[in-house]
Structure 1
Amino acid sequence: MYGLLGCDVTQIHGLGPYLTLKLVGECGTNLSAWPSAKHFTSWLCLSPSNKISGGKVLSSRTRRSNSRAAALLRLAAVAVGRTQTALGAFYRRLSARVGKAKAVTATARKIAVLFYNTLRHGMEYSDPGASCYQERCRRRVLTNLE
């Protein structure tokens, strides 16, 4: 993978060698077609499409897609939900609050952003762990309550 892409994408939890090869087959190795990670996730239909009329939000749902890349990222998100990583803790916290389907989409979007940043900008990913993520959320809640 390192010889093909120039960086190790498999450090991101949920992305193994097989899934990474399939994602590269769908998206390519050069992600310069998308100016930012937001454009990339929108192309994958993993970000909400806001329908606004007269300043009122009519709909804020993700679009349906037949994208194989989005389906692969959703599978990775489900697999990550069972791990003791920061992404797994994010999935579990969100699924308890908004439901499994929205949590899968949100985690898939987060994995897609990590994939984009790793390939496009050469970012190194290191997982802080589930306990660090939960402690950061706890601190954020306490500061908001104060």
Structure 2
Amino acid sequence: MVSEIGVTMDVFPTAKHLCSWAGLTPTNNESAGKKKSVRVSRAGVYIKLLLVQCATAVVKSEKHPEIRNRYLRLKKRRGHKRAIIVIARMLLTAIYHILKNLKKKEPYNPELYQKSDVLPVSREIRVDQAILLAKSQGFKIMMPVTSVT
């Protein structure tokens, strides 16, 4: 990793710039209102492969449940490949912050990622939102039967 991106993070203003340089961001190919491909870019040939392998290993391991839980939630909605790319980007962002704060000697803090796993206590949605959610999960919506007297 260090041989690819270096030790000083002065080259990259933010972690998003580093992720874009490594090719872990979706491309934007849109012309005349038509969206074409949203695959990840072809940049960062070597570092992207390394991060995907690391993400696959971390997901299988039980040492970091915050990463594994996020992968499992993403895999349900987006599929395995996209979830692995998200985890690889998450790892690269963590590496960026570790290298950025190298002088301060701040270690990796898993609590930052565990906070995003916690769902809000009171979750409320409107009826139309619930119907759309049920339809998106494959349920057939039927009107309630009313009795006429």
CA-atom RMSD, angstroms? 2.6
**What code does the residue aligned with 2:94 have?**
L
Give the structure 2 partner of residue 98 of structure 1.
78
Structure with greater strand share of residues: 1
Q: Percent identity?
A: 28
- Identify the match of residue 63 of structure 1 among 25, 41, 63: 41
Rg comparison, structure with higher value: 2
In the alignment, the residues of structure 2 paired with residue 37 and residue 66 of structure 1 have an alpha-carbon distance, to the nearest angstrom, of: 15
In the alignment, the residues of structure 2 paired with residue 124 and residue 99 of structure 1 have an alpha-carbon distance, to the nearest angstrom, of: 31
* Structure 1 residues 47 and 143: alpha-carbon distance in aligned structure 2, compared to 1, 3 A threshold: same
Please state how far the C-alpha of 1:125 moved relative to its aligned partner.
Answer: 2.6
Q: Secondary structure at the match of 2:86?
A: helix
In the alignment, the residues of structure 2 paired with residue 71 and residue 129 of structure 1 have an alpha-carbon distance, to the nearest angstrom, of: 25
Paired positions, count: 121
Q: Which runs of 4+ in 1 moved over 4 A?
A: 129-134
In the alignment, the residues of structure 2 paired with residue 57 and residue 96 of structure 1 have an alpha-carbon distance, to the nearest angstrom, of: 24
Q: Secondary structure at the match of 1:59?
A: coil
Structure with greater helix share of residues: 1
Higher relative contact order (CA 8 A, sep 6+): 1
Which segments of 5 or more consecutive residues in structure 1 lack a partner in the other structure?
1-22
Residues 111-142 of structure 1: CA distance to partner in whole angstroms, max 9, x if unpaired? 111111111244543213997654x1x328x5
